[in-house]
């Protein structure tokens, strides 16, 4: 027996943006959301380049150190884009993702203010801490979570991936449980959809793909002023796991529009 993800992904540019700067992927072995940092150049390029470089390394991942290393390599790719075109200087992206390692643990990677939530036994819990100006104020007891949610500077982030060697990303190991449902989303969702509504939608939706689409639709109905992207991953057990294939991988947002490169390295013998 082995654990796999039944994953769905959905992304929408939203009614108030001209370009979708979110990029996402979903696969039986992992999923992730990257959100190009607003106010900088080419956020869509930054998020898409990071996602594609990361998944092009293959589905197999040994441990948290290897995943962190692969994210750093993908981040280095952003620096290469800037070296080729100095007009791109300042482009950056967030990243939040989950990924099975070789031991069967689920790795959670995070930097920025895209979020991961876990629905387990009907209870939804936030699994990431925003790297943001308002979160720092909350941590210091200077602001409540409720006030942070509506603060005009809530979108100012304090960490991102911008191609710099000093950029940081956290990777932690989690114990997956059959029946878990993970939500990875950009702030175009988390800033506009209340926690209790996220819980209700995730708990009531059928498949992971249906859940992802409903979450994005809910954000659009809430008049999100940003791009809205959701990846939903259900942890399931399979008796005879099939090999990973490149066509198991799905992209959305900027990652769907850019960099359709050869991803044959994603295949796996297990």
**Domains of the chain: residue spans and CATH:** 2-259 (3.60.40.10)
pLDDT given for residue 240 in this prediction: 77
Q: Write the CB contacts of 149 (distance below 8 Å, at least 6 apart in sequence).
A: 191
Report the C-alpha gap between 92 and 215 in whole angstroms. Answer: 25
pTM: 0.92
pLDDT given for residue 143 in this prediction: 73
Q: In the chain, which stretches have pLDDT less than 50?
A: 262-270
């Amino acid at each position: 027996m082995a654990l796999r993800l039944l994953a769905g992904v959905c992304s929408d540019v939203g009614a108030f943006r001209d370009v979708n700067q979110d990029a996402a992927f979903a696969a039986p072995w992992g999923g992730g959301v990257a959100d190009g940092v607003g106010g900088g150049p080419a956020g869509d390029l930054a998020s898409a380049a990071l996602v594609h470089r990361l998944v092009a390394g293959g589905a197999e991942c040994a441990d948290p150190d290897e995943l962190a290393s692969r994210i750093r390599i993908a981040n280095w790719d952003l620096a290469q884009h800037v070296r080729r075109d100095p007009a791109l200087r300042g482009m950056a992206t967030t990243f939040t993702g989950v990924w099975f390692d070789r031991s069967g643990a689920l790795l959670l990677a995070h930097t920025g203010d895209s979020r991961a939530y876990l629905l387990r036994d009907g209870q939804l819990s936030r699994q990431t801490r925003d790297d943001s100006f308002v979160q720092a104020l909350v941590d210091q007891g200077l602001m409540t979570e409720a006030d942070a949610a509506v603060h005009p500077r809530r979108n100012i982030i304090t960490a991102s991936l911008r191609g710099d060697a000093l950029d940081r990303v956290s990777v932690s190991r989690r114990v997956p449980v059959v029946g878990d449902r993970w939500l990875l989303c950009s702030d175009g969702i988390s800033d506009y959809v209340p926690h209790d509504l996220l819980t209700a939608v995730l708990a009531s939706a059928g498949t992971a793909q249906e859940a992802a689409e409903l979450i994005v639709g809910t954000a659009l109905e809430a008049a999100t002023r940003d791009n809205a992207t959701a990846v939903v991953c259900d942890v399931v057990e399979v008796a005879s796991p099939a090999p990973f294939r490149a066509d198991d991988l799905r992209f959305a947002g900027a990652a769907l529009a850019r960099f359709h490169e050869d991803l044959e390295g994603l295949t796996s013998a297990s």
